[in-house]
Amino acid sequence: MPSQPPPGEPAPVDGALPEQAIAELSGTPLGAYVHVPFCRTRCGYCDFNTYTPSELTGMSPHDHRSAVLSELELAERVLGEGRPEIGTVFIGGGTPTMLPAAELVGLLTALRERLGLAADAEVTTEANPESVDPAYLEELRAGGFTRISLGMQSVVPHVLATLERTHTPGRGLEAARWAVEAGFEHVSLDLIFGAPGESEADWQASLDAVADAPVDHVSAYSLIVEEGTRLALKVRKGEIAMPDDDALATKYLMTEEFLVGLGFANYETSNWARPGGECRHNLAYWRGANWWGFGPGAHSHLGGVRFWNRRHPRSYAAELAEGRSPAQAREVLGPEDRRIERIMLELRLAEGLPLTVLTPQERGRARQVVSEGLAVRQGDRLVLTLRGRLLADGVVLRLLG
Average pLDDT over residues 134-162: 95
Query: Is residue 146 within 8 Å of residue 120, measured between CB atoms?
Result: no
In the predicted structure, residue 45 carries a pLDDT above the cut 70? no
| Whole-number average pLDDT of the chain | 92
Average pLDDT over residues 27-43: 85
Q: How confident is the model over 251-278, as pLDDT tens digits?
A: 999 999 999 999 999 999 999 999 999 9
Q: Domain-by-domain residue ranges, the chain?
A: 9-287, 335-400
In the predicted structure, residue 1 carries a pLDDT above the cut 50? no
Strands 271-273 and 290-294, bridge-based pairing = unpaired
Average pLDDT over residues 157-164: 88
Q: How far is CA 106 from CA 11, 93, 135, 293, 364, in A?
A: 29, 17, 17, 17, 52
- Distance of alpha carbon 63 from its chain centroid, rounded? 24
Q: Is 229 exposed, middle or buried (0-12, 13-18, 19+ CB in 10 A)?
A: buried
Strands 271-273 and 217-222, bridge-based pairing = antiparallel
Which residues make beta-bridge pairs with 90? 33, 124
Q: How confident is the model over 198-246, as pLDDT tens digits?
A: 999 999 999 999 999 999 999 999 987 666 666 666 767 777 777 789 9
pLDDT attached to residue 125: 98
| Of 129 and 51, more confident | 129
In the predicted structure, residue 105 carries a pLDDT above the cut 80? yes
Give the span between the Cα atoms of 173 and 188, in whole angstroms. 10
Closest by CA position to 143, among listed 187, 98, 176, 112: 112
Give the span between the Cα atoms of 335 and 332, in whole angstroms. 10
For helices 335-346 and 392-400, the axis angle rounded to 10 degrees is: 150
Radius of gyration for the alpha carbons in the chain, expressed in angstroms and rounded = 21
In the predicted structure, residue 47 carries a pLDDT above the cut 70? no
Q: What is the CATH number of domain 335-400?
A: 1.10.10
52 pLDDT tier (thresholds 50, 70, 90): confident
Q: What percent of the chain has pLDDT over 70?
A: 93
Tell me the whole-structure pTM to 2 decimals: 0.93
Closest by CA position to 211, among listed 251, 257, 249, 248: 257
Q: How far is CA 89 from CA 39, 108, 144, 263, 386, in A?
A: 21, 8, 11, 26, 31
pLDDT attached to residue 2: 46
pLDDT attached to residue 60: 79
Average pLDDT over residues 23-40: 90
Measured at the CA of 158, the angle between CA 152 and CA 160, to 5 degrees, comes to 25
Q: What percent of the chain has pLDDT over 90?
A: 80
Closest by CA position to 332, among listed 305, 308, 300, 301: 305
Domain 9-287 falls under CATH 3.30.1370.160: no
Which run of H or E residues covers position 90?
strand 86-93
341 pLDDT tier (thresholds 50, 70, 90): very high
